[in-house]
Structure 1
């Protein structure tokens, strides 16, 4: 009875956010539908052409609900010890086999006793912005990019293409497919060498432990969660992560300065 009551309480807590997400998707679909109708009335074939992919679908509802459940039952808690999940290192070689991959842990260095360690774990899709964060703070933090289950697989809940960098990735059926998808994504965006790339195991244990679903950032310091980012995509905020790092380790040089300008500027922590 106690477990049933707890599940009911979690469900009641989830419902407001779930319905707000559904409302957002309904509004999004409505706006797209109106735009297409206006384009056709104005005889603009190019603007009204193309496949219309609705976001508010049965697959979308299931994915949203699953995401809220993952967040509600996540193991990770601010200030507590970071969950030591199993992940798989993504091989660097273009020709690889899944049996050549090795297991590691999240967070990295979890078994060490380094009191000054700082690890930033990113379950991320915004790679260009993440890349800049790695380049700015790799001298004070270890970065680990964790590739998880596809939020919008091409054979499931498909998201509309927003740019030319969109990828068609089907739902991962095995570890080899997941590692291949991770390599394809990061090769396109050229992940910085200072960041290690790993993939969640097929049991999705890291995804479950950290309650990711879409994307999330965690910072581990002295084996404990020092920063816990919000649930993506709406509460995923790399600017907030940057602010935390700047407060802890000092601000970096502004990107507006050229290399020549940097030689005349000093920053103290």
Structure 2
């Protein structure tokens, strides 16, 4: 009986400890590598084929914690903090662009001797994956992008904001996501390696999101890398923009998360994670829409 109780206690505490791993701030696995003029922070979990996670703007690998836990059971997950964000340092450059961050990822892979990897990029992370596919497609096996945009906010890719309507603050969705949202909005204050650069770093990230990316439809059509384009059906980017992204990527698949917004990985984690794993686990092939009639 004592042995059974011990086993049950071990299983319970092990599960609890695993769920409490401080992703994005894990001193046991966190490492740094010098890439050009920045010191990039990253954490590695699991074994197998490399899967690089790219977080959203103003955030860090911390916001990818759910994905790390889910994907590291099958892949060697490498979660990186982008330039000027999370625990990765800022540089003296006045401008920040997704194109530069894509070059950072390329340099990061070279330093770790990673010839090729699968990618999951959320929001700004998806934009970085698109930019990487333009300049170094040989580095990408397959990529999943969630809530990504290929032109900057200045071009009107955002949905219109109705200031007269708000969700009920008692809606269960608020309770479900408030913890992660609170962590996200305090990322800089908690994780920035140089607190004196927080204001300038935020300014750079904001300017980048407003003005970039500047990817043309012709450039999208030149990308010969399989992409899964994902977005919430109530994403902050219009469905028209998401559909244009999907239609102009030659090897694209599409998944719209129902009843979800730009933060679908926090709102519907089981659905999002299972779809990503399903997509990454099979080879891409073009489908004939009417094959079953022939």
- If the length of structure 1 is used for normalisation, what is the TM-score? 0.26
- As a proportion of its length, which structure holds more helix? 2
How does the TM-score come out when normalised to structure 2?
0.25
Which of the pair has more CA radius of gyration? 1
RCO comparison, higher one (Cα < 8 Å, 6+): 1
